[in-house]
């Protein structure tokens, strides 16, 4: 299970990612990036988060990939959903 969200605050726009590393949800991988402009928010940013998470999961679980993947993205509209999928 994983989630991705963005936040706009005093320090600018941040994108955060967190994903579980086991079925008990007791170990996690997380990362965040500061976004300098709207153009920097791309699927390649998400791909980087996702790839690192899966690599951590794989090596922590005897080189077995997750059997199910659920990803929650805050603020996804219908147009973005069709484009991303």
Q: For the chain, which residues score pLDDT lower than 70?
A: 37-42, 75-85
What is the number of structural domains in the chain? 1
Residue 60, pLDDT score: 93
Residue 55, pLDDT score: 94
Q: Which long-range contacts (CB under 8 A, 24 or more apart) does 69-74 make?
A: 69/1, 69/2, 70/1, 70/2, 71/1, 71/2, 71/3, 71/4, 72/1, 72/2, 72/3, 72/4, 73/3, 73/4, 73/5, 74/3, 74/4, 74/5, 74/6
For residue 45, the enclosing domain spans: 2-84
């Amino acid at each position: 299970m994983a989630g991705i969200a963005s936040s706009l605050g005093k320090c600018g726009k941040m994108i955060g990612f967190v994903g579980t590393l086991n079925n008990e949800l007791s170990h996690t991988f997380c990362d965040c990036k500061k976004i300098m402009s709207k153009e920097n928010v791309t699927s390649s940013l998400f791909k980087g988060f996702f790839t690192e998470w899966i690599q951590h999961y794989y090596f922590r679980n005897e080189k077995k990939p997750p059997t199910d993947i659920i990803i929650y993205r805050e603020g996804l509209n219908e147009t973005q959903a069709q484009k991303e999928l």
